[in-house]
Structure 1
Amino acid sequence: MMATLISFERLRFLFNRLKERLWVRPLVVCLLSVSAVLSAKLADGTPLGSYFPELSIESVQALLSIMSASMLVIATFSVGSMISAYSSTSNTATPRAFSLVLADDVSKNALSTFVGSFIFSVVAITAVKNAFYGKASLFVLFVLTVVVFAMVIVTFVRWVDSIARLGRVGSTIEKVDNAALASLLRRRNAPLLGGIPITEEAQPGKEVHCSRIGYVQHIDMVALQAWAEEFDVIVEVVALPGTFTAPNQVLAYVRQASQDIADKDLSRLTKAFQIGDDRLFDDDPRFGLVVLSEIAGRALSPGINDPGTAIKIIGTLIRLISQWNEPAPDNCHKKVLYDRVAVPSLSVPDMFDDAFTVIARDGAGVVEVAVRLQKALCSLASLGDEDISKSAEYHAGLALKRARKSLDIEEDIAHVEKAAEFWCQ
């Protein structure tokens, strides 16, 4: 029963993993190109042929030959440019953002168009040279060739504009920002993933472990609910997406079990936890904060010395946390969908640790970064949320201590202390 249930969230997770594969979209476009070449033959069986002008085979062959010769070169050039952009992302930003750059739609569409056009022209030339087309179908093929050629030109112009930004720090920050915001809003709208809250008086149950070492990437709540209903138990999730797991780490507890549950049945339960080698942005809101913090930390390194990027990321982090703190929309259902799965909520102190620890540590000796961090944390404290205010106050005090120890000039220290006056009131 559990294997037959596939939730929308599970499909979304699998679809996103498929989107990250560079070969998927070019393969689909290649198949469509071959289908378009062969489907042109259908025009010969219709009376439309009498309305079409007669074209010479040589003219169509010449156009297809030009396309086939140029598309392979352009496709090779595009791959080289994309690889350079991917390398730039790892060197100037952080390797953790590589998956987002790899999933860039403009680059994938460009590569797919170039490769698909090459396949289209090669298959069409082969068909034309073997007298596969009649008068009507040859004209249809000519029209398709002109359309494909126009698509190539438009795609190339758009791609050149995009590749100039792809891999740059600003573009990478924007992609991480969008991925983190989507994940945060998804968790805000479903803080318990559709499950029930964990009660303090709940008794510990049977521990569930996983033999694989890695990160929890996704939790299949439908599978957990089905398993819990089958054995009439409550499953208490411990390892949220982003948690590092090892054989000695607990994934979940099984509570209120009225019977002994075999190990093989518990192994079925662990299959609901997708374990992988890397953290993913989809269901792990904290990962986006970690990656943004890493980019800021690298910008503050002596080799790069770019405090402006760190200041920009501080503003991005403030906006992300502020949007996460906003009330969920009225049309967002927060009803319990899985009444046998207890899920912990996202920890605000952990979010602040992920977002600001690296910046406060590496930017302690940069007065403009230390001042901006104090002002940013003050703005977060004014949001009115108690957990956010406490975490902001804690990190502001810690950042002030680091700044006092790292700064040498009294005027710089006084500047940071003035920015921190909010906490001394």
Structure 2
Amino acid sequence: MLSPDRLRFVLSRIKERLWVRPLMLCVLSVGGTFVARLADDAGLSGVLPGVTPESVETLLSIMASSMLVIATFAVGSMVAAYASASTGGTPRSIPLVIADDVTQNALSAFIGAFIFSIVSLIAVQNSFFGSAGLFAIFVLTLLVFAVVIVTFVRWVDRIARLGQVVNTIEKAETAAGDALDRRRYAPTLGALAVTTHSAGEGSVPVLSSTVGYVQHIDVDTLQSCAEELNCRVSVAALPGKFVSTCCPLLHVYGDVEKRKAFRPDAFAGAFTISSNRAFEDDPRFGLLALSEIADKALSPGINDPGTAINVIGTLVRLFTRWQSPLEKGCLREITYDRVLVPELVIDDLFDDAFTAIARDGAGMVEVSIRLQKAFCALAETGGPEMAAAAKKHSRMAVARSERAMSLQDDIEAVRRAAEFSAS
């Protein structure tokens, strides 16, 4: 049975599949045609106004031909937007763009309307409906037309902005912020805290059976397995870590190797491993995606420092959000007392967010100065750990700028900006 946390993760993965919503709308469309038949069975022929079959057929024929064209146009526009997001931003942002609700709803509405018109047209031409059923189909067709028109207007506005870099940054910021919030409210995923990844004495490592990235950890399953064996487990691979068949996912503490009930695959089954990283439970991936967008904008072929500066501001907002105090009662209680999970390290988050920008933007004075101002802001608003990380990365960024810049005035301007974060 899926735990609530695993169910949330599975639903998030389903949301990224383009075929799910269109399939659901197709089923509803076919069902709507047969529901209209109930008007005949309910004996409403003498109550409802009469509609000629020819008028209904004409309306359905117009819908069938137009919806097929619009659906084809929608798919082409979506593919172009996805390609634009990948080229202008980063390929890692594609799942976020695909999961756009307005776009998926639009494609679902167009395909669903096409299926509805085809099925209804066949039913009408074969005299499946009486007078009441024809009127019901006529009303349903008008409603479908209204839904399609409203959806199309909303979708045109969205598709015009879907592949733009600014929109991609917004989606990546939202995904990273949601993942950071989940770790803010549950720093150890509801388990006990551990400060080291070392197995320790008397522990049994459980290795990964596949090669890939950890996407999700079902702590509820680990707790159940640990209770069954009366042992404790320490997680060694957080979401986002790349594991191989010789890499331990966790360590089991206790004399369990000789027990018949000990099944390493049961513990390993709590880890969802895939060839790609996922945003939901991996805050570092969201920060890395934003960093890649900025880094790509700094390449000589694109030369767009403004986008990099925009991303730096986004990262400052995210780290400020990470450091902000939690509301009373929002912190998740420790419910898994047999599982130990390490907390995120702020220095790792800074590495993912700022290292690439500082390296490839070292020769641009405007980017380097904005980066130093960002470190200054984070050092002042954050706690001791964030301040230490900000000052460390500030020193590294200054050293890179000194090597990359040829004009002494530019170097001095970066040093002056760095004096604030060093104070």
Q: Could you tell me which residue of structure 1 aligns to residue 187 of structure 2?
A: 191
1:253 and 1:203 map into 2 onto residues whose CA distance is 9
Q: How high is the TM-score relative to the length of structure 2?
A: 0.97
Contact 2:199 2:251 in 1 (8 A): no
Find the residue that maps to 2:162 and give its secondary structure: coil
Find the residue that maps to 2:291 and give its secondary structure: helix
1:141 and 1:8 map into 2 onto residues whose CA distance is 40
Aligned CA RMSD, in angstroms, stands at 1.5
1:286 aligns with 2:284: yes
Q: Could you tell me which residue of structure 1 aligns to residue 322 of structure 2?
A: 324
Q: Could you tell me which residue of structure 2 aligns to residue 142 of structure 1?
A: 138
Find the residue that maps to 1:48 and give its secondary structure: coil
What are the equivalent positions in structure 2 for 1:155-170 lying under 5 Å apart? Answer: 155-170=151-166
Distance 1:258 1:83, change over 3 A: closer
1:46 aligns with 2:48: no
1:75 aligns with 2:75: no
Shift of residue 263 of structure 1? 9.9
Q: Could you tell me which residue of structure 2 aligns to residue 338 of structure 1?
A: 336
Q: How high is the TM-score relative to the length of structure 1?
A: 0.96
Shift of residue 117 of structure 1? 0.4
Shift of residue 88 of structure 1? 1.0
What are the equivalent positions in structure 2 for 1:69-148 lying under 5 Å apart? Answer: 69-148=65-144
Contact 1:231 1:257 in 2 (8 A): no
2:19 and 2:220 map into 1 onto residues whose CA distance is 30
Shift of residue 262 of structure 1? 6.1
Shift of residue 326 of structure 1? 1.3
Mean alpha-carbon deviation: is it higher for 361-370 or for 382-391? 382-391
Find the residue that maps to 1:191 and give its secondary structure: coil
Q: Could you tell me which residue of structure 2 aligns to residue 248 of structure 1?
A: 246
Aligned counterpart for 1:20 among listed residues 8, 16, 38: 16
Q: Could you tell me which residue of structure 1 aligns to residue 168 of structure 2?
A: 172
Distance 1:27 1:424, change over 3 A: closer
1:21 and 1:116 map into 2 onto residues whose CA distance is 16
Shift of residue 25 of structure 1? 0.3
Shift of residue 232 of structure 1? 0.6
Mean alpha-carbon deviation: is it higher for 271-280 or for 51-60? 51-60
What are the equivalent positions in structure 2 for 1:4-19 lying under 5 Å apart? Answer: 4=1, 6-19=2-15
Shift of residue 259 of structure 1? 5.8
1:357 aligns with 2:355: yes
Shift of residue 387 of structure 1? 0.9
* Count of residues in Structure 1 that have an aligned counterpart in Structure 2: 421
Per-residue deviation, residues 101-155 of structure 1 (Å, max 9, x unmatched): 1111111111100100000000111111111111111111101000001111111
Aligned counterpart for 2:399 among listed residues 398, 401, 425: 401
Gaps of 5+ in 1: none
Per-residue deviation, residues 383-407 of structure 1 (Å, max 9, x unmatched): 2411101100000000001111111
AA matched with 1:322:
T
Contact 2:291 2:356 in 1 (8 A): yes
1:219 aligns with 2:227: no
Contact 1:232 1:257 in 2 (8 A): no
What are the equivalent positions in structure 2 for 1:377-396 lying under 5 Å apart? Answer: 377-396=375-394
2:278 and 2:211 map into 1 onto residues whose CA distance is 16
Q: Could you tell me which residue of structure 2 aligns to residue 347 of structure 1?
A: 345
2:195 and 2:388 map into 1 onto residues whose CA distance is 23
Contact 2:109 2:151 in 1 (8 A): yes
Contact 1:360 1:370 in 2 (8 A): yes
AA matched with 2:278:
L
The 4+ residue runs of structure 1 with deviation greater than 4 A are: 199-202, 261-264
Aligned sequence identity (%): 53
